[in-house]
Amino acid sequence: MDYQESWDHCATLSTSLTLSDISKACRGLSDFQGDETAVLKVIGDSKQKGYKRVCMPLTTEKWKERWSKMCLLPNESSDEDKESASKAAEAWRLNPAFQRDEVTITRLDEAEGIIVMVSEWLELDAADDWVRHDAEIALKQELAYASYLNIHTVILPSPRNRDHVASYARIVNSCLTKFPYIYISIRLPIYNPSVFQPSSPSSPVLRPTSPPMHASLGSSSSIAPSLVISESEQLPASNSGVSLNATWEMWDLIRTMCDYNMKLTLTLDLSPALPTTLGVLSKWAAESVRHIFLPASTFIANVKGYPHRPMIILAEVGEGRHTRGGENAYSQYVRHLEKTSPAVQAAKKAGTVENFAQGYQDYLQAPLQPLMDNLPSITYQTFEQDPIKYMQYEEAMFRAFLDHPVDEKLVVCVAGAGRGPLVARCFKALERSNREATVIAVEKNPNAFVTLQERQIKEWGNKVQLIFGDMRLIDVPEKADILVSELLGSFGDNELSPECLDGAMRFLKPTGISIPSSYTAHLAPLSSSKLYNEARSTKTEKGLETPYVVMFQAVNILSGTKASADGRCGPQVQECWEFEHPRRDAVLDSQGLPFTNSHNARSAKLRFYIPHAGILHGLAGYFEAVLYGNIGISIHPHRKDQVSKDMLSWFPLFFPFREPLYLPSSSELQVSIWRITNDRRVWYEWHAESFISVPNSAGTSEELLMGQPFSGSFSASSSSFSSMGAPSPLVDSKEPAFLDMTRMNTNYAGSGGVEYETVKIGHTSLHNAGGRSSWIGL
Ligand SMILES: C[S@@+](CC[C@H](N)C(=O)[O-])C[C@H]1O[C@@H](n2cnc3c(N)ncnc32)[C@H](O)[C@@H]1O
Amino acid at residue number 353: V
The Cα–Cα gap between 222 and 550 comes to 38
Catalytic residue among 123, 316, 486, 545: 486
Pocket probe mutation, ligand 1, options 500, 623, 649, max atoms within 8 Å of Cβ: 500
Atom of ligand 1 nearest to the CA of 503: 19
Is there a contact between 654 and 548 (Cβ–Cβ < 8 Å)?
yes
Q: What residues are paired with 740 via a beta bridge?
A: none
CB atoms within 10 A of CB 703: 14
Give yes or no for residue 526 CB within 6 A of ligand 1: no
DSSP lists the bridge partners of residue 291 as 267, 311
User: At 384, which amino acid appears?
Assistant: E
Residues making up the annotated binding site are 380, 389-390, 443, 470-471
Name the domain boundary from 299, 325, 340: 340
What distance in angstroms lies between residue 472's CA and the mean position of ligand 1's atoms?
Answer: 12
- 307 preceded by cis ω (within 30°)? no
In this structure, how many other beta carbons lie within 10 angstroms of the beta carbon of residue 763? 14
- Find the domain containing 161 and state its range: 9-26+34-58+105-194+244-340
Q: How confident is the model at residue 502, as a pLDDT?
A: 96
Whether residue 150 is contained in a domain is answered as: yes
Question: Distances in Å between the alpha carbon of 587 and those of 579, 583, 590, 599, 662?
Answer: 16, 10, 10, 9, 45
Residues 544 and 397 grouped into a single domain = no
Structural domain tally of the chain?
4
Do 17 and 65 have their domain in common? Answer: no
Residue 712: inside a domain: no
Nearest to 767 by CA among 659, 680, 661: 659
Q: φ, ψ for residue 341 (rounded to 5)?
A: -70, 140
Tell me, yes or no, whether 183 and 302 share the same domain: yes
Question: Is 689 within 8 Å of 655 (Cβ atoms)?
Answer: no
Residues 474 and 431 in one domain: yes
- CA-proximal residue: ligand 1, atom 23 (nearest): 416
Is there a single domain that holds both residue 125 and residue 189? yes
CB 452 within 8 A of CB 419: yes
- 418 C-alpha vs ligand 1 centroid, how far in Å? 5
3 state SS for 388-436: HHHHHHHHHHHHHHHCCCCCCEEEEEEECCCCCHHHHHHHHHHHHHCCE
Is residue 226 assigned to a domain? Answer: no
For residue 482, is it left (φ>0), alpha (ψ between -120 and 50) or beta? beta
CA nearest to 18, candidates 100, 138, 104: 104
CA of 451 to the centre of ligand 1 (A): 13
493 found inside a domain: no
Please indicate whether residue 383, judged by its CB atom, sits closer than 6 Å to ligand 1.
Answer: yes
The DSSP output letter for 588 is B
Q: 247 near 191, Cβ under 8 Å?
A: yes
In the residue annotation, 486 being an active-site residue is answered as yes
In this structure, what CATH number is given to the domain that contains residue 771? 2.70.160.11
| 470 CB within 6 A, ligand 1 | yes
Ligand 1 touching residue 371 (CB < 6 A): yes
Q: Where does residue 212 fall: left (phi above 0), alpha (psi -120 to 50 degrees), or beta otherwise?
A: beta
Q: Which of 401, 382, 399, 486 is nearest to 441 (CA)?
A: 486
Ligand 1 touching residue 327 (CB < 6 A):
no
User: How far from 589 is each of 431, 593, 595, CA to CA, in Å?
Assistant: 38, 5, 6
Residue nearest to atom 14 of ligand 1 (CA): 416
Q: Coil, strand or helix: which one is 620?
A: strand
Q: 193 CB less than 6 Å from ligand 1?
A: no
Choosing from 110, 316, 354, 495, the catalytic residue is: 495
CA gap 205, 189 in Å, rounded: 16
The HSE-up count of residue 602 (CA atoms within 13 Å, CB side) is: 22
Nearest to 212 by CA among 122, 127, 90, 136: 127
- Would residue 68 count as lying in a domain? yes
Q: How far is the CA of 499 from the centre of ligand 1 (A)?
A: 13
Distant-in-sequence, close-in-space partners of 86: CB < 8 Å, separation ≥ 6 = none
Q: Please choose from 386, 487, 490 the residue to mutate so as to test ligand 1's pocket, defined by most ligand atoms within 8 A of CB.
A: 487
For residue 488, give the nearest of 530, 521, 452, 534 by alpha carbon. Answer: 521
DSSP-derived secondary structure letter, 476: -
Mutation test of ligand 1: which of 373, 374, 375 has the most ligand atoms closer than 8 Å to its C-beta?
Answer: 375
Question: Residue 48 C-alpha to ligand 1 middle, in angstroms?
Answer: 56
CB of 421 within 6 A of ligand 1: the answer is yes
Rounded to two decimals, the pTM is 0.76
CATH number of residue 461's parent domain: 3.40.50.150
CATH (domain of 275): 3.20.20.150
CA geometry: angle at 102 spanning 99 and 108, to 5°?
85
Question: How many angstroms does the Cα of residue 357 sit away from the middle of ligand 1?
Answer: 23
Length of the chain: 778
Q: Do 760 and 613 fall into the same domain?
A: yes
Atom 15, ligand 1: residue with shortest CA distance: 371
Q: What's the maximum distance between 2 C-alpha atoms anywhere in the chain?
A: 111
User: Which pLDDT belongs to residue 240?
Assistant: 46
Would strands 264-269 and 311-315 be described as parallel, antiparallel, or unpaired? unpaired
Q: Is 516 in the pocket of ligand 1 (CB under 6 A)?
A: no
Q: What are phi and psi of 381, to 5 degrees?
A: -60, -40
DSSP 482-539: EEEE---BTTBGGG-HHHHHHHHGGGEEEEEEEES-EEEEEEEEEE-HHHHHHHHTT-
Task: Give me ligand 1 centre to Cα 336, in Å.
Answer: 46
616 close to 657: Cβ distance less than 8 angstroms: yes
In a domain? residue 237? no
Ligand 1 binding pocket includes 417 (Cβ within 6 Å): yes
The answer to whether position 366 is within a domain reads no
Distance 423 CA to ligand 1 centre (A): 12
Residue 79: strand, helix, or coil: helix
- For 473-479, which contacts have Cβ atoms below 8 Å and span 24 or more sequence positions? 473/503, 474/442, 475/506, 476/413, 476/440, 476/442, 476/507, 477/440, 478/411, 478/438, 478/440, 479/411, 479/507, 479/508, 479/509, 479/512
* Ligand 1 contact via 664 beta carbon (within 6 Å): no
Distance 73 CA to ligand 1 centre (A): 76
Q: Are residues 165 and 278 in the same domain?
A: yes
Q: Which of 437, 464, 486 is the last residue of a domain?
A: 486
3-state secondary structure of 267: strand
Three-state SS annotation for 630-665: CEEEECCCCCHHHHHCCCCCCCCEEEEEEEEEEECC
Cβ neighbour number for residue 588 with a 10 Å cutoff: 13
In angstroms and rounded to an integer, the radius of gyration of the C-alpha atoms of the chain is: 31
**Is residue 172 located within the same domain as residue 116?**
yes
Check if 319 has its Cβ closer than 6 Å to any atom of ligand 1. Answer: no
Nearest to 429 by CA among 415, 441, 412: 412
Q: Does ligand 1 have an atom closer than 6 angstroms to the CB of 162?
A: no
> Of 290, 324, 340, which residue is a domain's last?
340
Low-confidence ranges of the chain (pLDDT < 50): 1-8, 195-225, 229-240, 299-308, 699-731, 734-751
Pair 646, 766 in one domain? yes
- Give the three-class secondary structure for 766: coil
Residue 329: inside a domain: yes
- Nearest-angstrom CA–CA distance, 175 and 481: 68
- Both 468 and 565 in one domain: the answer is no
Q: Is 472 close to ligand 1, i.e. is its CB under 6 Å away?
A: yes
Running DSSP on this structure, what letter comes out for residue 365?
B
Q: Are residues 684 and 602 part of one domain?
A: yes
Report which protein residue has its CA nearest ligand 1's atom 6: 417
Helices assigned H by DSSP within 228-351? 241-257, 278-282, 328-340, 342-348
Minimum CA distance residue for ligand 1 atom 13: 416
3-state secondary structure 170-220: HHHHHHHHHCCCCEEEEEEECCCHHHHCCCECCECCCCCCCCCCCCCCCCC
Which residues fall in the annotated binding site for S-adenosyl-L-methionine? 380, 389-390, 443, 470-471
* 536 lies in the same domain as 419: no
